[in-house]
Structures are given as C-alpha cells and as structure tokens.
Amino acid sequence: MSALDQVLSHVDDHLEESIDRLFDLVRIESISTDPAYKAECRKAAEWLERELKELQFDASVRPTPGHPMVVAHTPDHDSGPHVLFYGHYDVQPVDPLGLWNNPPFEPTVKVLPDGGKELTGRGTSDDKGQLLTFVEACRAWRAVTGKLPLNVSMILEGEEETGSPSLDDFLAAHKEELKADLALVCDTSMWDKDTPAITVRLRGMMKENLVIKAADRDLHSGGYGSAARNPLHVLSKIIADLRDDKGRVQIPGFYDGVGELPADIKKQWDELGFDGEEFLGEVGLSVPAGEEGYSVLEQLTSRPTCEVNGIWGGYNGEGSKTVIPAEANAKFTFRLVDQQEPVKIREAFRSFVEARLPTDCSVEYESVGGEFGPLVVDTDMPETQKVIKALSDEWNKEAALIGSGGSIPITTEFRSVLGMETLLVGFALEDDRIHSPNEKYDLKSFHKGIRSWVRIIAALGNS
C-alpha cells in the first residue's frame, strides 16, 4: 500500500474525530463583525494555534489592529516546494436566530432522507469546515508518515467577514516570512456536488456613490416645474445611457483590457451543462439581461458588470408631494474582469457622468473604498495540472476551471504583495446557506475535501 493510500485510509478511519474537532471550533462564537464577540475570536485563534502545534507546526497567534492572525509553518522546511495556505476562522452574524432549526453554535450531524449527512451550524461551511479540510489532511500525513511531503505555511485570518482590514499591512510587514511558491485558498465552491472545481477567474470591484445637485433648495413643482432643472431626470438619463439595448456598457474605454474567454475554457463551460434559464427561473426571471451574444454563465463570471445598487431623491413617503428636489443620489458597483483597472474605470465613469451634466448641475462623489482588480489565474503553471489531476482522482470526475461572479480580494493581494499565484480550491456547495440561517456543510464535502488535500499535498510535494 502506497504512503498516499495509507494516509487516505487514515482519513477514513478517523473521520469521527475530525468531525469532533470541527464541532469544537464551530462552538466558538467567533463573529468578527460584532465587537461583543472579540474574546471569542481570540479563542478561535488560540484553538487553532493549539491544534497546529499538536501537528508540530511552528504556530502562533499574531496581533493586528483588529482580530489576530494565526500563522504557522512546518518546522522542517527543506528546499522543496512550498505553499501558503489561507483560510479564515471568523464567521458571519447569526440573526435572525428564530429561523435556525438548531442553535447556530451547537453543531449537529443531520441525516437526510437519502442517507446523506450534513454538518449544521454557523461556519461549518464558511470557513471553519473548509479550513479544517486542509488542517486535517496535514494531520493525516503527519500521523501516518511522521512528516509532510511539502513545505507548508498557513495564514488563518479573523477578519474576512469584515472585509479584511488588517490583511494588507500584515502581508506587507511579513512578506519574507509568508512568501511561498503558491497560495492555496479553501473558501470557494465545487461546480456541483459531483464535480470538483478550481476557481480561476474572480471579478474585481469598483464602487462609486454620487449625488447630483441642481437648485440650492427643494422647489415646489407648481411654482418651478419644467423651468427648474430636476436632478432626478438628470440622474435617470445618466443611468439610462450606461447600457445600450443589447446590455453593452457605453462608458468609453470600459471594455479596454477585457478579453474573450479562451476557447478551451469556453468549451469546458459549455460542457458543464449550466442551465441559465433554470438559474434565472429560480428568482422569477426568464430572460438574461446582460450582453447579447454571451451565455448567462459568461455574463455572471467572465463579463464585466455595471449595476446601480440604489437610487433615491425627493419624496418617498405616503401619497404625493409636489417637490423638485435639490439632489438625486445613486450607488453603483462595477465588477471587473481580465485587465480592467479599477482606477481607470472610475475615471472613465466620472467622465461619462460629467459629460451628461447640464448647466446648473454639479456632481459629488463619495469614496467608499473596497475596490480591487480582477484575477485570472495563470492556469499554465505546472501546479494547476497537478491539482486538477489530484481532484479528478478523488472525485472520479474531471475538475472544472470555473469563474466566480463574486470577488475574493485576498487573491489579488497575494499576487501584488507577495508575488504569488493562487489556486482556489473549495468544497462548498451553492446550497450551503453561508451567511444565512441553517448553514451546513455536506459530510461528503468535509470527508472528500480532506482526502482531496491529502492528494494535492502529495502531488505538489512530489514535484
């Protein structure tokens, strides 16, 4: 029996203990968004430090201006390959509490009618369960062979759910310590419950809030109607002009740096059998509203977006009020892809707005921060093929290279601050209800997730 097979058997034989450890961690109420849970966040960090030390990691809890980081390294680094693993131990708030079938911090194993099992509780999926798949894989290697076949460092964050405010500075300050050949992140989903996936495209983000002003006070529409400029009309015109009838964004230069999807990825996506109609049907829609000529999957992941997330101005109470307001407000987000740069998109958007401002109108912008560039993983690196093969071996199905409509800023930081590529490998499912009541993680995700990392560690270490 090969060492790999022995380690996989060890995972199977000790799964109950792995679940117990996950439940211990889930019981710690490490809600990072609420200052009342500060001590619980620290407790989770210390729990991880203790577990990793038990696995002979050189582990420590490191202070930040916010919740602490846990940093760990295998003590016996050699000249071979070296990965940096990332996960986060903080969780989302649990309200509304009344909608949970079981208390969020009292994890259980729920048996489904089809015999499948779910691990329930806040953080079982996002990200304590996912994080532990990697830790438990390390544990199995250590238990069976006495060492890891790969140099491993870890950074486990406690502020992911609050937008990672301390992460940039921490990475910059510990650049030499944290630099590795490759980053591995376990915070994403499978394609579906049978198909493992590596997320290779993440959209970037640019946010912009603005207010358009006209008269210096609210006016009576009887006394001023028509003659006075109405900023609600001006704002509406700007928003209406943003996209044409075919869903194409009209901001000059917006598509600079946006490439077409590589043929091999597009072919793979077409074969994944994503049903755009069904996807939209679940929320009461039937027709894709994005760029014509692109599938729903492409609209959601490989194409950029321009969305208004909020508008307001004038009277919104009961009945009516004959007012021409002095101001009109809107909030926008842009999801960016490929080589689009947030700074250039911001400039282009502002020029677009200002070109549509009539005399007597002015615009003010509110910077809300949080912008970051898109990420397209360099799938040509040899590690990609090794991880694909390891995943495909475990799941008996070719791993998909997928895009995510959402954004994981950490990956751009790894590239820009540490100069590393990232592979995002996760075992969550779309129905895990992360951030919602009744969060769960399939036992299969947890079990085969651990086994997947056992294989990936072997594959990357053997190179």
Least distance (Å) from a copy of itself to the CB of residue 258?
A: 13
Least distance (Å) from a copy of itself to the CB of residue 291?
A: 7
Interaction between residue 206 and a copy of itself (CB under 8 A): no
Interaction between residue 32 and a copy of itself (CB under 8 A): no
Q: Which two tokens stand for residue 75?
A: 């003590």
Distance CA 220, CA 132 (A): 62
Interaction between residue 273 and a copy of itself (CB under 8 A): no
User: Which of residues 93 and 314 has its CB atom nearest to a copy of itself in the complex?
Assistant: 314
Interaction between residue 328 and a copy of itself (CB under 8 A): yes
Interaction between residue 292 and a copy of itself (CB under 8 A): no
Interaction between residue 209 and a copy of itself (CB under 8 A): yes
CA 170 to chain centre: 20
User: Which of residues 106 and 315 has its CB atom nearest to a copy of itself in the complex?
Assistant: 315
Interaction between residue 331 and a copy of itself (CB under 8 A): yes
Bridge partners (DSSP) listed for residue 198: 401, 425
Least distance (Å) from a copy of itself to the CB of residue 196?
A: 20
Q: Are 337 and 302 in contact (CB under 8 A)?
A: yes
Interaction between residue 312 and a copy of itself (CB under 8 A): yes
Q: Which two tokens stand for residue 282?
A: 């679940």
Interaction between residue 365 and a copy of itself (CB under 8 A): no
DSSP assigned state of 249: B
Half-sphere exposure of 379 (CA within 13 A, CB side): 17
Interaction between residue 164 and a copy of itself (CB under 8 A): no
User: Which of residues 121 and 325 has its CB atom nearest to a copy of itself in the complex?
Assistant: 325
Distance CA 87, CA 141 (A): 19
Site for a copy of itself in 113-152 (CB under 8 A): none
The residue within the footprint of a copy of itself, chosen from 314, 327, 376, 398 (CB under 8 A), is: 314
Site for a copy of itself in 219-248 (CB under 8 A): 219-230, 232-233, 235-243, 247
Least distance (Å) from a copy of itself to the CB of residue 380?
A: 27
User: Which of residues 80 and 259 has its CB atom nearest to a copy of itself in the complex?
Assistant: 259
The interface region with a copy of itself, picked from 2-10, 191-199, 251-259, 289-297 by CB under 8 A, is: 289-297
Going by DSSP bridges, is the β-strand pair 182-185/421-425 parallel, antiparallel, or unpaired?
Answer: parallel
Say how many residues touch a copy of itself, by CB under 8 A: 79
Q: Are 64 and 157 in contact (CB under 8 A)?
A: no
The interface region with a copy of itself, picked from 55-63, 81-89, 209-217, 388-396 by CB under 8 A, is: 209-217
Q: What string marks each residue from 382 to 421 as x (binds a copy of itself by CB under 8 A) or -?
A: ----------------------xxxx--------------
Distance CA 80, CA 375 (A): 27
Computed on alpha carbons and rounded to an integer, the radius of gyration of the chain in Å comes to 25
The interface region with a copy of itself, picked from 52-60, 72-80, 85-93, 288-296 by CB under 8 A, is: 288-296
For residue 102, the surrounding DSSP H or E stretch is none
Helix axis angle for 128-145 and 443-461, nearest 10°, is 50
Q: Are 352 and 254 in contact (CB under 8 A)?
A: no
Interaction between residue 315 and a copy of itself (CB under 8 A): yes
**Residue 213 Cα distances to 220, 225, 354, 366, 397, angstroms:** 16, 16, 12, 14, 57
Going by DSSP bridges, is the β-strand pair 323-324/219-220 parallel, antiparallel, or unpaired?
Answer: antiparallel
Question: Strand, helix or coil at 42?
Answer: helix
Least distance (Å) from a copy of itself to the CB of residue 209?
A: 7
For residues 90, 368, 178, 198, the Cα torsion angle rounded to the nearest 10 degrees is: 70
Interaction between residue 201 and a copy of itself (CB under 8 A): no
Site for a copy of itself in 50-79 (CB under 8 A): none
User: Which of residues 113 and 217 has its CB atom nearest to a copy of itself in the complex?
Assistant: 217
User: Which of residues 327 and 398 has its CB atom nearest to a copy of itself in the complex?
Assistant: 327
Least distance (Å) from a copy of itself to the CB of residue 289?
A: 4
**Residue 325 Cα distances to 115, 235, 237, 241, angstroms:** 60, 12, 16, 22
Question: Strand, helix or coil at 141?
Answer: helix
The residue within the footprint of a copy of itself, chosen from 15, 143, 215, 258 (CB under 8 A), is: 215
In sign, the C-alpha dihedral spanning 105, 111, 112, 115 is positive
Least distance (Å) from a copy of itself to the CB of residue 299?
A: 4
Least distance (Å) from a copy of itself to the CB of residue 350?
A: 16
Least distance (Å) from a copy of itself to the CB of residue 270?
A: 16
Burial class for 228, CB neighbours closer than 10 Å (0-12, 13-18, 19+):
middle
User: Which of residues 50 and 220 has its CB atom nearest to a copy of itself in the complex?
Assistant: 220
The residue within the footprint of a copy of itself, chosen from 63, 252, 259, 370 (CB under 8 A), is: 370
**Residue 156 Cα distances to 128, 174, 355, 443, angstroms:** 10, 14, 46, 22
